[in-house]
Structure 1
């Protein structure tokens, strides 16, 4: 038999065995007793895979019918009611706790009412000639944008009316002097200022260029006051936002009835502009006690005085501010710093600005020269290598004061005082608090550790907000109130945490 024939027979036997049906025993041996096997006619085999059965003791949950049966049992009903009662008790407890917290929490302090003149500093321009290049009302109008950049709230202008020296019979309140400009120019100035949100206060002091007194003489006070009443109607009708009058102590004392008429015209004035008009009084009195009495008796909205003159040391300034701030609200207080008599006008002092803009009340920034005002320095900044720091500092202080309640409304608390050092705290309710420090000494360093224990009660650190010298005390610098120092002729405004 050949080799090929033998291999063919083997293959045939193998194929026949594969096609032959299995016996029942063979099926059980291969598939097990639980798996039935069925052979189709075409030779295919179908297998039935058994479903998984749960292991004994394994919980598979309740079906819907079982749940419905359990839900109605007495035990489950009692459980549901117990959980419901516990939920409402917990809810009522939380509500009662919230109400208790609200009732026990200290109420927010009511914000005092403010007028527009409390919202920012007033800028007084005495000399039109020195203020601008043209030296007249038109020159002031050209500088309105620069004043707006410094965040001032109003201009106190003049006097600008015709004023024959010591001659009350020739006095003309309604006539603008030729040196100042014209009536059309003042109308244009008022209109342009209002478009920018600035107010205009006109100085109507009668005898501003004479030597016999601002109201000429005692015998002429009554007649001049009577003529002033009609002038007030004229200027307020023209759109000015207030008037300034010098020596109100004299008028109030000599002609009280006429003074009340003047007050009524200004303070009760109403027209299309929905705001009050400012009656700004001025007095030569410098005693804090006298100024306090006049402020209450005269009824002016603000009173300008020399209680904080350059001759007053830090101790005297602290006593003055304490006296006036304890008697009147910040809305009634006005501060300015007049240079010492005979002093040469110089560029403004950053420490003075820091003081005026952080005291409780309104600041009046007085223009002595164009350089002191800082206006011309803004205009010529490219020409001058070291422009005045005052315009930028004034803008920063005004903006900060407008948004910080502690500076706008806050209480004044004296922290430390000597002849050369002044430290006070401004605070309002839960608003951020500010510690203001001044070292007027020309050569002595002030150690902040001297603020203890008051400084300790305010925390151990303070963050610099603004300073008179940003090179040394830059914003966001943290000072240690236990070990830090304040150099000579420096001032700084710190934000301090609550106790």
Structure 2
């Protein structure tokens, strides 16, 4: 059937073309060619379960999954093997098993010091018992009671304490509460004439069995009450190979694997006298623990130079094999006293503090305050003394906590360092003809594994800084642990470190980028 759209005009005629051109001539934007209408976009639809199973079940996907699982387990096993190899090859120091007296902080106290104004003993023993929580807060592990027995008696009755100190029920209560608080109690027997007129100066003479037996029975009496041990001086007439042998037998009877009792020999001179044991002069077989002084005993305040000589002698002397318990010894200024606290708490061995030394003895504080404020001795002196005591106590607490926390102080090796240092004081270079002698900057390292704790002590009056090549084997980056001024915090570098006059610092060294708080 013919298609006639435009009436009489046939399809494709001139009239039809003219009509089409007239209808399109009204717009210049009409394209010359008319496109077919585009189909509507299909909406996305998720694959059904059946379609997923068909696609996932293909051979290509199964191979890919197998390869991925294989690579995962091979990579995991490779990382596990590498970790095990690193752990096995890395040097891991084995911590030795330390006994309680190798970990403890000792505290010497004389109960007779706690008397009232009327010289009546309300009780020295009770005053010590009331201070047990304070001792515990300081980190004290053992208390050494001094002056318990009557020194005038010859021989003294070791089963009874001096009436000026307290009574037996009071000291029994002290043993009970100290045991509950985890603090051990030792008895000091120094400067007692234990054998009376039958004296033995360690020349090999033998004590009668009844005299020696009475002393051993007295030791058993106190050990049964809970005493952790006894102290004896190397100058006592009872100090001999026979005495130490007899005492060790008694100590062994009451010692267990958890609680071992001890005998401490207090060294009064520069060297410990040798004992005549089986024809040989030695003290290693009987003396196991010795209490030594950092400073020589003197009747005056020791100068900076005297303190420096004593400190350097102890640091440069090799360890003798006998476990040392360090005490302060002589007296010096409060500033040097705090430096000695740092030294005593960081040396190999165990520290022992006398009552009041953790806050600096009052006599030393008063002397320094008087010299520093000679123009005005009254205004502000009490505040200055209080600030010194608080600063010293804060330093002591910091050192005590660091000693318990840092394994390097408990197990670490000791290395004394020889430093190259320079002074930044202008007074040191003003006199070119006679250069003043520089006081030493002492240093040592306590190392355990990859941890190094560096202790620096500047005993001079000038600011000191270290040479960049002073210790090439040690890392230069570190973080402050504590300092005598209690004003050192955060990270530091040995290349830029400046030591203040009469300052001691403890720095924990670490490799760059390996430290994490």
Measured at CA, do residues 113 and 495 of structure 1 come closer, stay the same or move farther in structure 2, by a change above 3 Å? Answer: same
Is 1:143–2:157 an aligned residue pair?
no
Measured at CA, do residues 87 and 289 of structure 1 come closer, stay the same or move farther in structure 2, by a change above 3 Å? Answer: farther
Q: Aligned ranges for residues 49-64 of structure 1 at < 5 Å?
A: none
Give the whole-Å Cα distance in 1 for the aligned partners of 2:42 and 2:334: 100
Give the whole-Å Cα distance in 1 for the aligned partners of 2:401 and 2:197: 42
Equivalent position of 1:444 in the other structure: 462
- Which protein is richer in helix relative to its size? 1
Measured at CA, do residues 196 and 475 of structure 1 come closer, stay the same or move farther in structure 2, by a change above 3 Å? Answer: farther
Q: Which runs of 5+ in 2 are unaligned?
A: 1-38, 276-280, 366-380, 420-437, 513-517
Measured at CA, do residues 178 and 493 of structure 1 come closer, stay the same or move farther in structure 2, by a change above 3 Å? Answer: same
Equivalent position of 1:391 in the other structure: 393
**TM-score, length-normalised on structure 2?**
0.67
Q: Give aligned pairs, total.
A: 419
- The answer to whether the 8 A contact 1:252-1:298 is kept is no
The DSSP-based 3-state class of the residue aligned with 1:145 is: helix
Equivalent position of 2:501 in the other structure: 488
Q: Aligned ranges for residues 27-426 of structure 1 at < 5 Å?
A: 81-106=66-91, 108-125=92-109, 127-131=110-114, 133=116, 134=121, 136-164=124-152, 167-168=154-155, 171-205=156-190, 207=192, 224-247=211-234, 253-255=240-242, 258-270=243-255, 274-287=258-271, 296-300=284-288, 302-306=289-293, 308-309=295-296, 313-314=307-308, 317-325=311-319, 327-328=320-321, 332-339=323-330, 349-367=337-355, 372=360, 384-385=382-383, 386-387=385-386, 388=389, 389-416=391-418, 420-426=440-446
The DSSP-based 3-state class of the residue aligned with 1:205 is: coil
Give the whole-Å Cα distance in 2 for the aligned partners of 1:367 and 1:235: 23
Aligned-pair CA distance for 1:261: 2.8
CA displacement 1:261-315 (0-9 Å, x = unmatched):
31132244148x9522232222334138979x96622243x21134653676545
Aligned-pair CA distance for 1:103: 2.8
**TM-score, length-normalised on structure 1?**
0.70
Give the whole-Å Cα distance in 2 for the aligned partners of 1:459 and 1:172: 58
**Over aligned residue pairs, what C-alpha RMSD do you find?**
4.3
Measured at CA, do residues 191 and 488 of structure 1 come closer, stay the same or move farther in structure 2, by a change above 3 Å? Answer: same
The DSSP-based 3-state class of the residue aligned with 1:438 is: strand
Q: Which runs of 5+ in 1 are unaligned?
A: 1-50, 378-382
Aligned-pair CA distance for 1:186: 1.2
CA displacement 1:313-359 (0-9 Å, x = unmatched):
5455345345444x548xx331112116xx8x989921111111111
The DSSP-based 3-state class of the residue aligned with 1:173 is: coil
Asked which structure has the greater CA Rg, the reply is 1
Give the whole-Å Cα distance in 1 for the aligned partners of 2:239 and 2:195: 21
Measured at CA, do residues 420 and 98 of structure 1 come closer, stay the same or move farther in structure 2, by a change above 3 Å? Answer: closer
Measured at CA, do residues 86 and 237 of structure 1 come closer, stay the same or move farther in structure 2, by a change above 3 Å? Answer: closer
Equivalent position of 1:453 in the other structure: 470
- The answer to whether the 8 A contact 1:436-1:493 is kept is yes
Measured at CA, do residues 129 and 373 of structure 1 come closer, stay the same or move farther in structure 2, by a change above 3 Å? Answer: farther
